Amino acid sequence: MEDSMADQQPVVELGLDTFGDRTVDQQGNPVSYPQVIRDVVEEAVLADRVGVDFFGIGEHHREDFAISAPEIALAAIAARTERIHVGTAVTVLSSDDPVRVFEKFATLDAISNGRAEIILGRGSFTESFPLFGFNLQDYEGLFEEKLNLLHELLKEQPVTWEGALRPALTNAEVYPKTENGLRAWVGVGGSPESVVRAARYGFPLVLAIIGGEPARFAPYVDLYHRALAQLGRPDLPIAVHSPGFIAETDEKARELYWPGYQAMNDRLGRERGWPPVTRDRFEAEIEHGAQHVGSPETVAQKIATTVRSLGIQRFDLKYTSGSTPHEHLMTAIELYGTEVIPRVRELLAADAAPEETAIPEPAETPAP
């Protein structure tokens, strides 16, 4: 008898995310923006080849990231890959238009033959607001209103809608239609209100865990499940997006990852008033926090722990942090697909396997 569809599904989906960080070459020279974009496409092609389930690209509009139009890069990736799902991490919906978001992803879905996904969020940077003429004072209202409209558009039926910050629509049809609908998630950074909003609209949840012990997000997972239940909705998948890096050994992974991590965090610190990051803090985040950095075995064990502690259905490793050269990123992707993913599934399968019960020896029959 053939296996059921449920039996064929992996224990957990395992993906990769990048923001298209501007890298350096092996001599430490900055790589051009066009080359970084081409490199990201090659990284995704490799991810597809080694068995990664999802490849996400973040949207940014600042000098340290090369990709401001992820849908175009994703279309190039979709045309060169066969099985990997492709999507954003995240689409900054507040400063985009829901109609254009639907149109772009419906097109990407066609190119990829149904492999497109959207992760919707507000983003961790605000450069897109003045760039596209939006008022930061409307930060909350823009996201709420546009999420509401996109939720209606995803039904792929005529839409009549009215809001306060965007022109109304009356019986509007949006094209192209998709063959099987679009998979859309909502990404949140730890706000209870955002978790409940995702449940209210019936979107799967992505938790961005970029610092601290992943297990501390368990209350948000519980809140999401409770909100869905109270709303009468079926349970939906939860994913985690967390940073990390893989090399052949723990020591090599830390040494290759540290320079880019330090430069990125110090640059953000100068903008946001944080103190310079220390090596001790970096090591602590690897040992006890959100950084999944190390050898394939170390990273697999930590991912499995994150999956177990939160009961999630997907884990996406943000494998880039600052200027780490493309060659090292390619090695990390290959190790992730060929060693980390099989090991994580092995560890989780062992958790799920029923314990063997010893069969007692038969008692001796007394002699007559």
Query: With 0-12 CB in 10 A as exposed, 13-18 as middle and 19+ as buried, what is 167?
Result: exposed
Mean pLDDT of 72-93: 98
**Residues 329/246, Cβ–Cβ less than 8 Å:** no
pLDDT at 355: 59
Give the tens place of pLDDT for each residue, 51-82. Answer: 999 999 999 999 999 999 999 999 999 999 99
> How high does pLDDT run on average in the chain?
93
User: Is residue 361 in a domain?
Assistant: no
Using DSSP's 3-state secondary structure scheme, residue 356 falls into coil
Give the tens place of pLDDT for each residue, 8-47. Answer: 445 799 999 999 999 999 999 999 999 999 999 999 999 9
User: Is residue 258 in a domain?
Assistant: yes
Q: Over pLDDT 90: what percentage of the chain?
A: 91
Using DSSP's 3-state secondary structure scheme, residue 304 falls into helix
Residue 199 in this model has a pLDDT that exceeds 50: yes
By C-alpha distance, which of 199, 81, 115 is closest to 151? Answer: 199
Mean pLDDT of 335-347: 98
Report the run of H or E that residue 246 belongs to, with start and end: strand 238-246
Give the tens place of pLDDT for each residue, 135-148. Answer: 999 999 999 999 99
- For residue 168, give both structure tokens: 């109304």
Residue 179 in this model has a pLDDT that exceeds 80: yes
User: Is residue 3 in a domain?
Assistant: no
Question: Over the range 11-46, which residues count as b (16 or more CB within 10 Å of their CB) and which as e?
Answer: bbbbbbbbbbbbbbeeeeeebeeeebbbbbbebbbb
Using DSSP's 3-state secondary structure scheme, residue 283 falls into helix
**Euclidean distance between CA atoms 141 and 27, whole angstroms:** 46
Mean pLDDT of 308-326: 96
User: Is residue 358 in a domain?
Assistant: no
CATH number at residue 165: 3.20.20.30
More confident residue, 359 or 127: 127
Which residue has tokens 């066969």? 82
Query: With 0-12 CB in 10 A as exposed, 13-18 as middle and 19+ as buried, what is 318?
Result: buried
Which residue has tokens 């060693």? 339
User: Is residue 174 in a domain?
Assistant: yes
| Signed CA dihedral, 188, 191, 194, 200: sign only | positive
By C-alpha distance, which of 328, 330, 214 is closest to 261? Answer: 328
User: Is residue 108 in a domain?
Assistant: yes
Query: With 0-12 CB in 10 A as exposed, 13-18 as middle and 19+ as buried, what is 95?
Result: buried
Give the tens place of pLDDT for each residue, 200-251. Answer: 999 999 999 999 999 999 999 999 999 999 999 999 999 999 999 999 999 9
Q: Over pLDDT 70: what percentage of the chain?
A: 93
**Euclidean distance between CA atoms 195 and 188, whole angstroms:** 7
Q: How many domains does the chain contain in total?
A: 1
More confident residue, 123 or 299: 299
**Euclidean distance between CA atoms 172 and 324, whole angstroms:** 46
Q: Position 353: which residue type? A: A
By C-alpha distance, which of 73, 58, 67, 55 is closest to 336? Answer: 55
User: Is residue 345 in a domain?
Assistant: yes
- For residue 216, give both structure tokens: 């501390």
Residue 362 in this model has a pLDDT that exceeds 60: no
End-to-end CA distance of the chain: 49
* DSSP secondary structure code for residue 367 in this structure: P
**Euclidean distance between CA atoms 52 and 44, whole angstroms:** 9
pLDDT at 4: 39
User: Is residue 45 in a domain?
Assistant: yes
User: Who contacts 363 (Cβ-Cβ below 8 Å, separation ≥6)?
Assistant: none
- Residue 366 — pLDDT band, cuts 50, 70, 90? very low
Q: Position 338: which residue type? A: T
pLDDT at 353: 74
What residue numbers bound the domain in which 346 lies? 10-351
